[in-house]
């Protein structure tokens, strides 16, 4: 057994860890522990609980009000890994600058980034958004339609991204994409970027934005981007959505067309 003296000696170390990483402990508490308890008590997933809140507190057909309602829920009720207001400003500025006509989103989640992008698109543009989780896709579908966007503006594709990307040309009539937003599993970023290259879906000047590039991070993706010589890139440093004390960032890539 550990003697009391040794145990006491570890107390300052433990306290230091708790103070230094308190924001990460708070994230774990809100994102994992609270979710599991409420999932058990309610019998429905947190994304559906969030939608019920949005449905009763938002103005249908008002995308901005829906985003603000999601933000309120995530700050004050339960944590959702939506894009959040700080990162939304970065994505909003890029959409304005690029004015893309064909946008691909990988990882719809609850539809937060989807309706942010959709409301900024120029006339005649279309957004294709891919979600592999059926329950999350069902929530996103309701959120997108609640915001007032139909299939002509936003097409929600259900399925794993590695299966959907090779089908984009033949099945969905998408010959190329001008703008890609990645917000799905970080371990899939590199694989899906290479799939987009392999299937010749990127035109010269196409923009790729990848979220959570610092936390939890996508190191292999960034190593490839920096070493392959096919992209111009920069990092927009920000913080984790709804946790300003946790550093994060978004990668902005521009496809040069060099093979």
Q: What is the CATH number of the domain that holds 124?
A: 3.40.50.150
CA distance 206 to 56: 39
> Same domain, yes or no, for 127 and 26?
no
> Same domain, yes or no, for 163 and 240?
yes
CA distance 125 to 218: 30
Note down the domain range covering 101. 84-255
pLDDT at res. 146: 97
Angle at 115 between CA 113 and CA 116, to 5 degrees: 60
What DSSP letter does each residue of 62-109 carry, written as one string? -HHHHHHHHHHHHHHT------HHHHHHHHHHHHHHH--SEEEEE--T
177 phi and psi angles, rounded to 5 deg: -125, 140
pLDDT tens over the chain, length 259 residues? 546 655 565 566 555 656 667 888 898 888 989 999 999 999 999 999 999 999 999 999 999 999 999 999 999 999 999 999 999 999 999 999 999 999 999 999 999 999 999 999 999 999 999 999 999 999 999 999 999 999 999 999 999 999 999 999 999 999 999 999 999 999 999 999 999 999 999 989 999 999 999 999 999 999 999 999 999 999 999 999 999 999 999 999 999 976 6
183: in domain: yes
22: in domain: yes
Residues 6+ apart with CB under 8 A from 14: none
199 phi and psi angles, rounded to 5 deg: -95, 15
pLDDT at res. 65: 97
Domain count, the chain: 2
Q: Hey, what's the torsion of the CAs at 48, 164, 91, 252, to 10 degrees? A: 140
CA distance 141 to 111: 7
> Same domain, yes or no, for 130 and 249?
yes
> Same domain, yes or no, for 39 and 92?
no
* Cβ 184 vs Cβ 149: under 8 Å: no
28: in domain: yes
55: in domain: no
> Same domain, yes or no, for 174 and 246?
yes
pLDDT at res. 130: 98
pLDDT at res. 2: 46
39: in domain: yes
Helix 46-57 to helix 134-146 angle, to the nearest 10 degrees? 10
* Residues in a beta bridge with 207: 179, 254
> Same domain, yes or no, for 213 and 119?
yes
CA distance 152 to 120: 15
234: in domain: yes
Q: Which pair of tokens denotes residue 54?
A: 């949005």
Letter string b/e over residues 133-165, b meaning 16 or more CB atoms within 10 A of that residue's CB? beebbbbbbbbbbbbebeeebbbbbbeebeebb
Element (H, E) at 127: strand 126-131
């Amino acid at each position: 057994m550990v003697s009391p003296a040794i145990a006491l000696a570890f107390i300052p170390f433990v306290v230091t860890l708790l103070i230094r990483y308190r924001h990460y402990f708070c994230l774990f508490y809100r994102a994992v522990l609270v979710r599991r308890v409420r999932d058990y008590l309610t019998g429905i997933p947190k994304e559906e609980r969030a939608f019920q809140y949005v449905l009763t507190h938002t103005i249908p057909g008002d995308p901005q009000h829906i985003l603000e309602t999601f933000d309120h829920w995530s700050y004050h009720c339960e944590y959702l890994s939506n894009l959040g207001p700080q990162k939304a400003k970065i994505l909003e500025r890029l959409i304005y600058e690029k004015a893309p006509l064909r946008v691909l989103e990988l990882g719809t989640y609850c539809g937060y980034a989807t309706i942010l992008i959709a409301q900024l698109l120029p006339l005649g543009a279309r957004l294709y958004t891919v979600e592999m989780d059926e329950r999350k896709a069902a929530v996103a579908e309701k959120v997108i339609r609640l915001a007032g966007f139909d299939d002509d503006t936003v097409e929600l594709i259900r399925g794993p991204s590695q299966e959907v990307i090779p089908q984009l040309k033949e099945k969905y009539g998408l010959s190329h994409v001008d703008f890609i937003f990645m917000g799905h599993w970080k371990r899939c970023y590199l694989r899906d970027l290479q799939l987009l290259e392999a299937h010749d879906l990127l035109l010269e000047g196409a923009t790729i934005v990848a979220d959570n590039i610092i936390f939890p991070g996508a190191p292999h993706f960034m190593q490839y981007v920096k070493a392959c010589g096919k992209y111009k890139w920069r990092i927009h440093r920000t913080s984790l959505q709804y946790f300003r004390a946790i550093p994060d960032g978004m990668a902005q890539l521009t496809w040069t067309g060099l093979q």
